[in-house]
Amino acid sequence: MATPERIVNVDRLHLHRLQAAEPQRLPGTDAPVAAQGTEAADLIVAYLENLGVEYVFGVPGGAIEPLYNALARSGRRGGPQAIVARHEAGAAFMADGYARETGKVGVCIATSGPGATNLITGVACAYDNGIPMLVITGQPPIHSFGKGALQESSCTGINTVAMFRHCTRYNSLVSHGDQLQIKLFNALMQATQAPQGPAHLSIPVDILRGPVQGLALPNDVTSLLRATPSLVDLRAIDQLHAELAAAKRPVFLIGDGCGEASAAILKLAHLTGALFVTTPDGKGFVNPRHPAYRGVFGFGGHASANELLGSEPDLLVAFGTGFGEFSSGGWSRGILNERLVHVDNCDENLMRSPMARLHVRGRILSVCESLVDLLHADGNAELRAEPAGNRPQADVDSMLQEPAKYHADTTPIKPQRLMKALSELCPPNTRFVADAGNSAAWAVHYLQPQDRRAPRNPEQNAMPWLLREQRSGRTSWLRVTMDFAPMGWAIGAAIGIAAGNRRCPVVCITGDGSYLMNGQEITVAAAMQLPVLFVVLNDGALGMVKHGQRIAGAEPIGFELPAVDYCQLAAAMGIPGHVIRSPEDLHALDFDAILHRNGPTMLDVRIDGEEVPPMNVRMKTLGTAK
């Protein structure tokens, strides 16, 4: 249990977070706050404050110094403040996690030259994952361009705008102070409206420091930036309504774009009797014990999901997914066929399914609400299926590839068994983040925490399940990086999630290779007193590479990692840790205390590295599946 002192501390921080999260208003008016300061950098911070952004992640340096000055001024009065990462890629991963958890734009900043180039991996990851992100990098003063200034990064230097071109939705050098406001507005609009992604501004230090005209923000601009339009294609909704009314065995696929819509989709599933599967990054939106759930389709997925799709349902409705390799089972014909209806607010996603028999463009929440209304108006609102409570554990276990290993109490602990322990020992509101490598495969397949909407009082089990399906916002209990999948992403993302939401414990499941690459960011969690549990799957190997080579019959090369004691590494940073060798070791820990401490904890889990992760989709795409 947390000590009373700690509770006070958490509450104060939490209060500060809530205060900061509410967009500021001028007293007695609806007008946004003006920049408090006189420099261009203050204007940037004022925009962020009006969007409710609390943290800016980055690493300082000379060319970006005025923005840090503005953040110092802002932090002192309770506005947006700086969180300093140890590496700029970590800062971008943090901004990514923060955006996923809060639904706001994630912001990361870096100095020119190496600061900007270090950011790129995290920005590219956010681009591939459709994460709204504002990226600001510095430049030396504009008069010095072409003269060989330190870390010059304009077109006469290493040209960072050119480097960011292919991993941003908007990308521009601000070459004059008068451009700043319009370019900032453009960047924020492009980052936050579908298709979402990073927008990059490269700003010379003298322009950041320079005076700006009109420091009061236009009211309409900030309300436009905060709005999520409820636009839908009414004609297509009518067509889908007819398809749903006629379908005998509809199946739904829930993708990563379904955050705010998941409750409405489940209601629709219930009204139509649809069974549903999720993509790997959609799993976190649903209760894995839901009676109509048949598992994950795609990377790390379940045979039950393949079987359901293979059973030739008469209608397949996919919500909010881009059908990349991981979410389409390597572009499987089981999903990409003429029975498909694709619902999405993102045209780029819709363009990935030319074979679909219907595309429904629009905000997924609004589409589903309209369909529910239409089905009710039909008088067709009686519930077609009668799911009650959770599926029995035996049914849920039967979806797993190797259920016996999920329950095995052997030493060394099996990764399957580790996922069971984490599912049982962490409270239902825990945010799990699984890293690139085997971590993602194990977590996507085997994690199944208790439903956060399950009633505490067992007598409430008699209530219709529909009444308990209360979901809010983009809340997801499991996050993974798709498509780009850089090692160490989860380490920064976990910190960003924890900064964005101090009420929920965060568990980062990562590999020893990823930790050796990016583990230094744990010191940021310590400095910020964030309750993040780092679970390092210590197999002494780049495990996914090792198993991939074995499955493919390739040369066994380059996968070994040194034996490292990650607890001692954490201890050197003042962070407590535990070495875990067996399931018993795990169950002996006081998880409640660990997950509520004001700071990170390290679990160095010496797993059985011989266990083969569920990674068949990857092998199929590489052309090496057996």
Write down the least CB distance from residue 439 to ligand TPP, Å.
5
Closer by beta carbon to ligand TPP, 254 or else 542: 542
Write down the least CB distance from residue 281 to ligand TPP, Å.
16
Query: Cβ distance 237 to 371 under 8 Å?
Result: yes
- Residues near ligand TPP (CB under 6 A), total: 18
324 φ/ψ sector (left φ>0, alpha ψ -120 to 50, else beta): beta
**DSSP 8-state code for residue 346:** -
Find which of Mg ion, ligand TPP, none residue 278 binds, CB within 5 to 8 Å per kind: none
Write down the least CB distance from residue 95 to ligand TPP, Å.
18
Closer by beta carbon to ligand TPP, 445 or else 471: 445
Amino acid at 626: K
Beta bridge partners of 601: 533
Q: Which 434-473 residues touch ligand TPP, going by CB under 6 A?
A: 436-439
Find which of Mg ion, ligand TPP, none residue 504 binds, CB within 5 to 8 Å per kind: none
CB count, 10 Å around CB of 393? 10
Find which of ligand TPP, Mg ion, none residue 130 binds, CB within 5 to 8 Å per kind: none
Find which of Mg ion, ligand TPP, none residue 436 binds, CB within 5 to 8 Å per kind: ligand TPP
Out of 350, 487, 498, 535, the residue judged to bind ligand TPP by CB under 6 A: 487
Closer by beta carbon to ligand TPP, 197 or else 437: 437
How are beta strands 358-361 and 340-344 bridged, if at all? parallel
Whole-angstrom Cα distance, residue 172 to residue 170? Answer: 7
Write down the least CB distance from residue 539 to ligand TPP, Å.
5
Out of 271, 315, 506, 544, the residue judged to bind ligand TPP by CB under 6 A: 544
Query: 127: closest CA among 482, 492, 441, 433?
Result: 482
Return the residue nearest ligand TPP (CB atom).
511
Query: 624: closest CA among 564, 570, 550?
Result: 550
Query: SS3 breakdown of the chain: % helix, strand, coil, rounded to 5?
Result: 45, 15, 40
- Bond from prior residue into 412 cis (ω within 30 degrees of 0): yes
Write down the least CB distance from residue 537 to Mg ion, Å.
6
Write down the least CB distance from residue 406 to ligand TPP, Å.
17
Write down the least CB distance from residue 559 to ligand TPP, Å.
8
Closer by beta carbon to ligand TPP, 344 or else 611: 611
Whole-angstrom Cα distance, residue 489 to residue 474? Answer: 19
Out of 142, 251, 269, 537, the residue judged to bind ligand TPP by CB under 6 A: 537
Q: Which two tokens stand for residue 18?
A: 């809530």
Find which of ligand TPP, Mg ion, none residue 277 binds, CB within 5 to 8 Å per kind: none
Write down the least CB distance from residue 167 to ligand TPP, Å.
14
Out of 237, 335, 485, 594, the residue judged to bind ligand TPP by CB under 6 A: 485
Find which of Mg ion, ligand TPP, none residue 545 binds, CB within 5 to 8 Å per kind: ligand TPP
Q: Which 18-57 residues touch ligand TPP, going by CB under 6 A?
A: none
Whole-angstrom Cα distance, residue 217 to residue 52? Answer: 14
Query: 498: closest CA among 527, 469, 468, 463?
Result: 527
Return residues touching Mg ion (CB under 5 A).
511-513, 539, 541, 543
Write down the least CB distance from residue 597 to ligand TPP, Å.
25
Whole-angstrom Cα distance, residue 476 to residue 13? Answer: 23
Whole-angstrom Cα distance, residue 107 to residue 81? Answer: 11
Q: How many residues does the chain have?
A: 626
Q: Site map for ligand TPP, 488-527, x if CB under 6 A?
A: -----------------------xxxx-------------
Closer by beta carbon to ligand TPP, 276 or else 489: 489
Q: Where are the extended beta strands (E) located within 322-412? A: 340-344, 358-361
Of 61-69, 195-203, 538-546, 581-589, the segment contacting ligand TPP by CB under 6 A is 538-546
Write down the least CB distance from residue 572 to ligand TPP, Å.
20
Which strands sit side by side in the sheet containing 81-84, from one edge to the other? 81-84, 55-58, 106-110, 133-139, 198-204, 170-173
CB count, 10 Å around CB of 205? 24
Write down the least CB distance from residue 438 to ligand TPP, Å.
3
Query: 328: closest CA among 623, 626, 618, 624?
Result: 618
600 φ/ψ sector (left φ>0, alpha ψ -120 to 50, else beta): beta
CA 591 remoteness from chain centre: 24
Find which of ligand TPP, Mg ion, none residue 485 binds, CB within 5 to 8 Å per kind: ligand TPP
Whole-angstrom Cα distance, residue 583 to residue 607? Answer: 10
Query: 615: closest CA among 191, 325, 274, 255?
Result: 325
Return the residue nearest Mg ion (CB atom).
511
Out of 49, 539, 604, 611, the residue judged to bind ligand TPP by CB under 6 A: 539
15 φ/ψ sector (left φ>0, alpha ψ -120 to 50, else beta): alpha
Out of 412, 543, 583, 600, the residue judged to bind ligand TPP by CB under 6 A: 543
Write down the least CB distance from residue 510 to Mg ion, Å.
9
Closer by beta carbon to ligand TPP, 465 or else 566: 566
Of 3-11, 430-438, 456-464, 465-473, the segment contacting ligand TPP by CB under 6 A is 430-438
Closer by beta carbon to ligand TPP, 350 or else 617: 617
Write down the least CB distance from residue 147 to ligand TPP, Å.
35
Query: Cβ distance 528 to 495 under 8 Å?
Result: yes
CA 419 remoteness from chain centre: 19
**DSSP 8-state code for residue 166:** G
Q: Applying CB under 6 A, which residues contact ligand TPP?
A: 436-439, 485-487, 511-514, 537, 539, 541-545
